[in-house]
Amino acid sequence: MSTHAPYLPAASPALSVEDQEALTDLYVRGTPANTLRAYERDLLYVTAWKTARFDLALRWPESEATALAFILDHARDLSDAPSDDHSRQVAEVLIAQGLRKSLACPAPSTLDRRIASWLAFHRMKNLESPFGSPQVNQARSKARRAAARPPTPKSAHPITRDILELLLATCRGSRRDCRDRAILILGWASGGRRRSEITGLMFEDVSLKEFGEKSLVWISLLETKTTAKGKTPPLVLKGRAALALVHWIEVGQIKNGPLFRPVSKADRVLKRRLSPDGIYQIVKHRLRLAGLPEDFASPHGLRSGFLTQAALDGAPIQTAMRLSLHRSMAQAQKYYDDVDVAENPATDLLG
């Protein structure tokens, strides 16, 4: 990783070489890996965009005119634009480079994220950002409103308890089956874990001290999308969920290192960590075996399904959030709002 990257602190003449290296190391260790990867992708994109748009490299600080052009180029659908439209030509260059998917107007969240990264690059260099000027800021607000669209769910359907049972029923007796059962049931019962959270688990993150006496397994996540390192509360698995995880640990002979690993065609457990895409393939495979379309749900369906089931069962949203680790009540409330009003337990208060 280059120490000259804009998402790392700029060199300061007031610091010694050792202190500058320590500051850079602090930024790397203190920034989530997913954020660093997003910074790298966004830096690649805005650099390529400016080269194609102006045939110039990025400037620090960047000009307001460039910031405004960036917003304008990403605030409209370019599919109907004439072939000689400069913004369309730039977009076609980015598509050819694999940096842009289509000429359609990007989602407001995508534009917001790239601008947020560009702002962060300026902060790292102790520079004022052009995106803070009144005109640019207003244009950004108008672009967000003009391109507003209904939110699309990350999973076509939530994996509620009945769907989860169908998936678990396809897990028979092989090592792969034991692993998939443990992944599905942990991903659901621990509060709806994200793919990266499941694959990031280590054997050392699991405590079996209370399994023999209480059938409890405690899990410590290093960090999540909404919690910082060392600030994530321990999560618990009970009963069937705890048993499924312990069974996988025994069958897979997991004694250290990654908790979930690939299993070969010969049903041999490998040493390396299972990738997040592996979770996607597992969900798709189990849906197919259960007689459901492969696109019926994605891994995020475990998360949405947990909260949806909590709403169906009448669990208070605060208790569900203690496991899902949602930071925003409004975000978690969306899953509760999606439950059919006829299924809401509050409709039965009169009896």
Higher per-residue pLDDT: 199 or 227: 199
Regarding whether 108 and 214 lie in a shared domain, the answer is: no
For the stretch 309-321, pLDDT in tens is: 988 888 888 888 8
Regarding whether 56 and 188 lie in a shared domain, the answer is: no
Q: Of 146, 172, 205, which one is at a domain's C-terminal end?
A: 146
pLDDT of amino acid 271: 93
Q: Residue 8 falls within a domain, yes or no?
A: no
Q: Residue 265 falls within a domain, yes or no?
A: yes
Q: What is the dihedral of CA 71, 76, 78, 84, to 10 degrees?
A: -60
Regarding whether 300 and 329 lie in a shared domain, the answer is: yes
For the stretch 234-263, pLDDT in tens is: 889 999 999 999 999 999 999 999 999 999
Number of domains in the chain: 2
Residue 138 dihedral angles phi and psi, to the nearest 5°: -70, -40
Helix residue ranges per DSSP H, the chain: 17-30, 33-54, 64-73, 86-96, 108-124, 134-146, 161-168, 175-189, 195-199, 211-214, 239-251, 276-289, 300-312, 317-324, 329-337
Q: Of 146, 169, 198, which one is at a domain's C-terminal end?
A: 146
What percentage of the chain exceeds 70 in pLDDT? 91
Residue 228's pLDDT band (cuts 50, 70, 90): low
Q: Residue 109 falls within a domain, yes or no?
A: yes
Q: Please report how the helices 86-96 and 64-73 are oriented relative to each other, as an axis angle in degrees rounded to 10.
A: 80
The CATH number that applies at residue 25 is 1.10.150
For the stretch 265-291, pLDDT in tens is: 999 999 999 999 999 999 999 999 999
The whole-chain average pLDDT of the chain stands at 87
Q: Residue 6 falls within a domain, yes or no?
A: no
Distance between CA atoms of residues 140 and 143, nearest Å? 5
Other C-beta atoms closer than 10 Å to the C-beta of 139 total: 18
For the stretch 333-351, pLDDT in tens is: 877 776 655 566 666 777 6
Q: Residue 254 falls within a domain, yes or no?
A: yes
Regarding whether 233 and 189 lie in a shared domain, the answer is: yes
The CATH number that applies at residue 301 is 1.10.443.10
Residue-number span of the structural domain to which 178 is assigned:
161-348
Q: Residue 151 falls within a domain, yes or no?
A: no
Regarding whether 187 and 140 lie in a shared domain, the answer is: no
Q: Of 121, 146, 171, which one is at a domain's C-terminal end?
A: 146
Regarding whether 296 and 182 lie in a shared domain, the answer is: yes
Regarding whether 332 and 194 lie in a shared domain, the answer is: yes
Q: Residue 3 falls within a domain, yes or no?
A: no
Regarding whether 203 and 58 lie in a shared domain, the answer is: no
Regarding whether 132 and 167 lie in a shared domain, the answer is: no
Residue 215 has pLDDT above 50, yes or no: yes
Distance, CA of 153 to chain centre: 13
Regarding whether 166 and 138 lie in a shared domain, the answer is: no
pLDDT of amino acid 329: 80
Regarding whether 192 and 309 lie in a shared domain, the answer is: yes
Regarding whether 131 and 198 lie in a shared domain, the answer is: no
pLDDT of amino acid 3: 43
Q: Residue 278 falls within a domain, yes or no?
A: yes
